[in-house]
Amino acid sequence: MPHDRSQPPALDSSLPGVEEDLVTAVLTASRVLVAISARSLGEVAEALTLPQFRMLVVLQTRGAMSLSRLAEHLAVNPSTAMRMIERLVTAGMVLREASPQDRREIRIELTAEGARTVVDATDRRRAEIARVVAQMPEDQRAGLVSALRAFAEAGGEPAAPHKHLDLLGW
């Protein structure tokens, strides 16, 4: 039976109360982060979608890779990834070329413009997140760092090697 989109889906009743509260809190916080992400991206590259930006972030954090590996990291079909790549090539954000090891394989690489877009959007996002964090009670900030790092690790996000790569994903 299809879900009635006018009503929110029911939470998994198998979750204990604390876990259900945690999931609800993370969902609520994710709305704030998605809004910040969309605003920071819109100020840098209005024509770029969040999934396209996510592709740029994956290339920035993990380096050049094959089309199939990139699609896997994004959890999309290779054909979907290829359509995104086509738009990003046209925008000058990524390069698409044959792999030196296997000419049949397509290798996707971030351009300087793509890297600059990631850094600029991330700097804007960082500033807005800093404003939100500054409004939190100081005694609640301490546990947030370790909790968010553990959350990112559990979600398969690599640790950011420097400040321009922190808080990139969504």
Q: Alpha-carbon distance 95 to 92, whole Å? A: 8
How do residues 129-155 score in pLDDT, each as one tens digit? 999 999 998 888 888 888 888 888 888
Residues facing 97 on adjacent strands: 107
How do residues 22-70 score in pLDDT, each as one tens digit? 888 889 988 998 888 888 887 777 778 889 999 999 999 999 999 999 9
Cβ contact 81:74 at 8 Å? yes
Q: Alpha-carbon distance 63 to 156, whole Å? A: 16
* CATH number for the domain formed by residue range(s) 21-165: 1.10.10.10
Cβ contact 37:25 at 8 Å? no
Helix or strand (DSSP H, E) at 108: strand 106-110
